Amino acid sequence: MDTKPFNIAIVGGGISGVTLAICLLQHNVPVTIYESAARFGEIGAGLGMGPNSVRAMGLISPDIVAGFERCVTLNGDGNRSNWFTVRVGDQRKAGPDGVLRQKESAGLRVGDAIFEINYTNDGQAGGVHRAHFLDELLKLVPKSVQRLGKRLVDITSADGSQDAVLHFADGTTAQHSAVIGCDGIKSRTRQILLGEDEAKPVFTGKYAYRGLIPMEKATEILGNEIAANSQIYLGYHGHLLTYPIQKGKTMNVVAFSSCESWTDPQWVVPTSREKMLADYEGWGATVGAVVGAMEKRDVWALFEHAPARTYYGTGPRICLLGDAAHATTPHQGAGAGMCIEDCAVLGRLIAAAAAAPDLDRAFRAYDRVRRPRTQRLVRTSREAGALYQFELEADDLDAIQRNLARRMAWIWDADLRQDLKTALAMMLRDERG
């Protein structure tokens, strides 16, 4: 296969940027990754990957799937079909006798399992540690295409063409046929493409405490069956997730709560055990014990992007991918999977281009196919957070179960091969006029 007569700049060296680079390099597209940090890395610990995510990996390279399998952590019972077991964690949902309202006939109490949310097919899925998965991806990208310490400041048009000139904080520049922004929710490429106001992230009214508990300690608190398998605890204006990471050595905890505004300029700040426990006052003993045992505690403000009018521009050529295009809340565990889907579609469209002018049509087809699906995720993920916190269906457990039974299928069961065929056909029709 001949090397393509154009070259691509990827801004951002996280999971999205590195995955896209792997796809492009397989199709002999010259590519350079520009990362602002001095080393590649991901913040946070646990990252969920649904069946759609793993199918998207397979569309790009079996080597990515193999890397995923090397670092995936499954439920301790080996059940790959279970996403989460749902429980109520808030004592205020129980009557004076401690039994959950609506579950009196079954005698279920706070902390007991109510129902399971299961994947709607038998595809591969599971959780990974963000940094470990990124390390697996980086094994597939030669160092010759990696540029570290390159913080993007601006993108301008090259004289006489639609090429993009990237300007970096260190005073250097680089010219490429196109720029793909994979630089996350605070994306500079998004600001350049859409303008400061439209690109600004929006606070969602939710924040999350994130922390870790050694599995030995988690087992003492919860018992092995609960600690080693994924759980979600529902409550009033808050909810809590626990699931195993690091091959079962650690239990990851994400405890969500609500506030009207976020005024701290930092989105991730250290927090105290006392502040966390105060947020869960009135919850049951199980949640209280988990929150009290969390190590390496941080509080994360949850922001998202308002709908973008477009994911691309052609003067110069800029295209947004992943969180730079559609940053979302984590309530459906699908943000990273959507980023990988983006890579599978955009990477193949770029590979179908014969020359630089064809990239305009590639970006247009990508925008038409990917923007509706990814914007839907932003909206429904925020709804899911409200659902878990008794704000969407109130505290009606039966209605919540019905909602969750149908909520995730459109994400997990997507026909990504058909989406790719549709996008390639759109690109071809544009060529024919």
In a domain, 1, yes or no: no
Beta bridge pairs of residue 35: 148
- Report the pLDDT value the prediction gives residue 321, as an integer from 0 to 100: 98
The CATH number of the domain where 231 resides is what? 3.30.9.30
Q: Give the helix/strand (H/E) hosting 23.
A: helix 15-26
The two tokens of residue 376 are 């839907």
Q: Active-site residue 210, yes or no?
A: yes
Quote the pLDDT of residue 433: 58
Strands 8-11 and 31-35: parallel
Q: Both 313 and 365 in a single domain?
A: yes
Say whether both 280 and 424 belong to one domain. Answer: no
Q: Are 228 and 319 in the same domain?
A: no
Euclidean distance between CA atoms 20 and 320, whole angstroms: 12
For residues 170 and 245, state if they share a domain: no
From residue 234, give the alpha-carbon distance in Å to each of 85, 220, 287. Answer: 11, 22, 10
Structure confidence by residue, pLDDT tens digits, 36-60: 998 888 777 778 899 999 999 999 9
Q: Are residues 166 and 246 in the same domain?
A: no
Nearest to 121, CA basis, from 423, 416, 329, 336: 416
| 288 occurs within a structural domain | yes
State the pLDDT at residue 432. Answer: 65
Is 361 in the same domain as 232? no
State residue 400's pLDDT score: 98
Residues 325 and 243 placed together within one structural domain of the fold: no
| Helices 397-407 and 358-388, axial angle in degrees (round to 10) | 160
Per the domain annotation, does 27 fall within a domain?
yes
The DSSP code sequence of 35-74 is ESSSS----SSEEEE-HHHHHHHHHH-HHHHHHHHHH-B-
Which residues fall within 8 angstroms of residue 25, CB to CB, at 6 or more apart? 31, 141, 142, 145
The 10 Å Cβ neighbour count of residue 103 is: 18
Asked if residue 274 belongs to a domain, the reply is yes
Q: How far apart are CA 371 and CA 375, in angstroms?
A: 6
Q: Are residues 291 and 412 in the same domain?
A: no
Within a domain: 380 = yes
Q: Are residues 229 and 279 in the same domain?
A: yes
Domain coverage including residue 261: 82-118+202-304
The catalytically annotated residue of 87, 130, 210, 382 is 210
**Residue after which a domain boundary falls, among 269, 304, 339:** 304
- pLDDT tens string, the chain, 433 residues long: the values are 789 999 999 999 999 999 999 999 999 999 999 999 988 887 777 788 999 999 999 999 999 999 999 999 988 877 778 899 999 999 999 999 999 999 999 999 999 999 999 998 777 898 898 899 999 999 999 999 999 999 999 999 998 889 999 999 999 999 999 999 999 999 999 999 999 999 999 999 999 999 999 999 999 999 999 999 999 999 999 999 999 998 999 999 999 999 999 999 999 999 988 999 999 999 999 999 999 999 888 899 999 999 999 999 999 999 999 999 999 999 999 999 999 999 999 999 999 999 999 999 999 999 999 999 999 999 999 999 999 999 999 999 999 999 999 999 999 999 999 999 999 999 988 866 5
Q: Is the same domain home to 194 and 233?
A: no
Q: Is the residue at 3 inside a domain?
A: no
Domain boundary among 276, 304, 332: 304
In this structure, are 53 and 134 located in the same domain?
yes
Give the tens place of pLDDT for each residue, 54-83.
999 999 999 999 999 999 998 887 777 889
Name residue 301's beta-bridge partners: 207
Q: Give the CATH number for residue 313.
A: 3.50.50.60
C-alpha to C-alpha distances, 1 to 28, 351, 354, 356, nearest whole angstrom? 7, 11, 12, 17
Task: State how many domains the chain has.
Answer: 2
On whether both 152 and 49 belong to a single domain, the answer is yes
Q: Are strands 146-148 and 152-157 parallel, antiparallel or unpaired?
A: unpaired
In a domain, 2, yes or no: no
Nearest CA to 296 out of 278, 271, 266, 264 is that of 271
Domain assignment present for 63: yes
pTM over 0.75: yes
**Residue at a domain's end among 262, 285, 304:** 304
Structure tokens at 314: 């052609």
